[in-house]
Each structure stands twice: as C-alpha cells, then as structure tokens.
Structure 1
Amino acid sequence: MGQWMEFFLKDEALGTFVPIIVYWVYSGFYVLLEHLDGYRMHTVAEEKMKNLVSKSTVVKGVLLQQLIQAMVALILLKVTGEVGESGITLQPSLMVQAIQFLIAMFVLDTWQYFLHRFMHHNKFLYRTIHSRHHRLIVPWPFGAMYNHPLEGLLLDTTGGVLSYLFSGMTPRTSIFFFTFATIKGVDDHCGLMLPGNPFHIFFGNNTAYHDIHHQHHGVKYNFSQPFFVFWDKLLGTHMPYRIVKRPDGGFEAAPAKKH
C-alpha cells in the first residue's frame, strides 16, 4: 500500500492522473448545471434531436482515449524528468515556468489548429476519423475528449507531448499546464453561458466560439483550440459571432455576418 501511495504522489503520476480526474470532476460540475435552461446555448430538445451518439458511448470513448493518453504520459514524464543529486525533480523559477507555460500554449494551439483544419478539409480523414467528434453537434461537457482513438492520439496526446518537449517544462510544471488545458477544453464544450466565467472574459476562444464550429454553418471556421484565436484570424478561418437571447430565455451564438 505504501509503495502505491509513493508512486501516485510522484510528479510523473500526478502529471498523468490529475488532469484525468479533473476532467471528470469539472465536466461533472457542468452536467449538474445543464438543466439551467436560462444559460444553455441549446435547448434539451435540440440536444436530443441533433446529437448522433448516446451519452454512454461518449463516456466509453473518452475513457479509451484517456487510457491511451495515460500510458503515453507516464512514459514521457518518466523518461524526461530531470533529477538532481538529492533525487528531487529540479524546478526552474516561477518566471521561467510562466514562459514555459506560454510556449506550451502556443505549441499546442499551433499543432491543433493545423491538424484540426486538415482533418476537416481532407474528406477521408473527416469521414473516417474526425466526424466522430462532430456527432455531438450540441457540445456536451463529458464529450470534450470524445474523439476517434487515432485522432485522440494524433491531435490531443501528440500535441501535449510536443508542447511539453518544446517548452522544456518539468513533470511538476506539467501537472498544472495539462490540468489547465483540460479545464479549458471542458469549458469550451460545456454549452453554458454562465455569468462571470473567466474563460469568457479573458479568452476569445471560449464556449460560444467553439459552439459555432460544431454547427453546420461554422464547421469550416473557428478551428483554433484550446486557447487563442490568432491562427483563425491570420488564415481567414475566423467566423465572428454575437450572443443573442433565445425566446426561451437561453443564449445562442449567431454568426455576426455571412461568409
């Protein structure tokens, strides 16, 4: 028992499993709130009518992706962790870690934008792989990581590996980065416009922005994820939107202009 506790308290294990635990806790929080009709971007009836996959299938798909992700993360963090003479992972200053955070965010955004966009424009890849994620036309919190296993490996897991390696962060710093990225990804798929949400205040890439991408009129726009929108704006795939009130009291992200 003591050996297992020692293992799960190591930075490598925490960097692997904390984001997974946070995924289910944070998305579960939004699922508990999904009946707040006044803050939903889509009605319950619309969700049931439009979505093409059952919620139980979504959960099973996410668990499979997280299993693959955990195996890759454990190996990566174990191999790359720098250990000093004392046997403790060496940590850089907070300033250096902040810079590593920003580098990792840029690398992850860049990888996901171009691969995500390619999967939409390549008919074979979209039909056989990426279309699985778009079975959730109305995004659902637990479905933030619902992908084809190959897409999960290429888009999310490989993107995470590259951001980790290029930024030079340590396994301990990765605990915070990947947990933050996980929370951000879930928030983008939560389907709720809650007042005071800091992700809506500080990020242009947010719940409404990504909701546009999941709708038929926006499927070739707003590819950027999970943090910034600059690649969409630079490369002409940005669809501006406005938040409007629905007759039932909820909110909706509507295109600001036709494309």
Structure 2
Amino acid sequence: MCWQFPLLGIVVDFGHYFVHRAMHSKFWYEHIHYVHHSLNDGGPLTAYYSHPLDFLLGITAPVVLGWWTIHGDLKAFLVYVFLAQVGALYIHSGQSWLGNKWHYQHHAKLKRVYGLFGISDFCLK
C-alpha cells in the first residue's frame, strides 16, 4: 500500500498540471478558472472556492484517474484523498513555513506553476 502514495502523487501531479495549464488559457480562465483566482487574500477554504467544473476536472478527475491507472487499494486511495485535502487547506492557509510561497506567487501573479507538487512543473518547463 505504501508504494501507491508516491506513484499516485506523481500521476495526479501530471494530470492536474495539464488540466490546470488548460484552465489558464484565455477561454477556460475567463469562463471557469477565474473563480478560484478571484480570492487572492488566502485562507484555507480558498482551496475549495472554484467553479464546479474546475473542481471536477482539475481536482477530482486526476485523483480518480490516477487511482484507477495504478489499480490502487481503496484504503490507500482514501488516505491519499485525506492527506491531499489537508495539503490543499495548508497551501491556501496563508502560512509559509513549509515552502508554499510558489502557490501564492501563482495566485498573485498568475505565475506559471500548474502542478501540485512541482514534479510536473520541473519536468515540463
């Protein structure tokens, strides 16, 4: 079960990267993704402030497809989802003691950081 966490994290990171990058195209940003970026002041619940389609395509789909791709264990999937939610709340919390400044730069300047963990951003520069 433990091997599934890093593998799922990598698959989800790349899935989120491609969807998030598409959401920053003119059409998708103006109609869908702008909702999430309309709150720049932070706060944990900002993680969930998004258009339903943005949440479905950018958050839910990569996790479910990632789990399906690696043929993951249900318990591992549920633990991953829980930890991912804690992480999402943290990076939107306003705290910067564990290196989440890149996320605030993305929100403030729409800087080109699209992945969740930086793996896909590093590989696809």
1:222 paired residue among 90, 113, 121: 113
Q: Deviations over 1:21-46 (max 9, x none)?
A: xxxxxxxxxxxxxxxxxxxxxxxxxx
Runs (4+) off by over 4 Å: none
Task: Provide the residue aligned with 1:112 in structure 2.
Answer: 16
**How far is the alpha carbon of 1:138 from its aligned partner?**
2.1
Greater Rg, structure 1 or structure 2?
1
For 1:107 and 1:193, how far apart are their aligned partners in 2? Answer: 26
Matched, 1:98 2:2: yes
Cα distance in 2 between the residues matched to 1:193 and 1:154? 27
Task: Measure the CA separation in 2 of the matches of 1:214 and 1:193.
Answer: 14
CA deviation map 1:112-165 (0-9, x unaligned): 011101111x21100000000000112221111211001111111111211211
* Superposed displacement of residue 233, structure 1: 2.3
Question: For 1:217-250, what per-residue CA distance to the aligned partner results, in whole angstroms no more than 9, with x for missing partners?
Answer: xx1322121xx213222333xxxxxxxxxxxxxx
Say if 2:123 is the partner of 1:234.
yes
Residue-pair matches, total: 125
Matched, 1:193 2:84: no
Q: What is the aligned-residue RMSD (CA, Å)?
A: 1.4
Identity of counterpart residues, as a percentage? 31
Q: Which amino acid aligns with 1:168?
A: H
Aligned counterparts of 2:48 and 2:63: Cα–Cα separation in 1: 13
Give the conservation status (yes or no) of the 8 Å contact 1:139–1:189: yes
Q: Which has the higher helix share?
A: 2
Whether the 8 Å contact between 1:139 and 1:214 is mirrored in structure 2 is: no
Q: Is 1:136 the equivalent of 2:39?
A: yes
Q: Which residue of 2 aligns with 1:210?
A: 103
How many angstroms apart in 2 are the aligned matches of 1:212 and 1:185? 16
Instruction: Tell me, yes or no, if the aligned pair for 1:137 and 1:215 is still in contact at 8 Å.
Output: yes
Paired position in structure 2 for 1:177: 80
Map 1:46-125 to 2 at 5 A: 97-120=1-24, 122-125=25-28
Tell me if the contact between 2:43 and 2:92 (Cα under 8 Å) persists in the aligned partners.
yes
Stretches of structure 2 that go unaligned for 5 or more consecutive residues are none
Instruction: Structure 1 unaligned segments of length 5 or more: list them.
Output: 1-96, 195-199, 201-205, 237-259
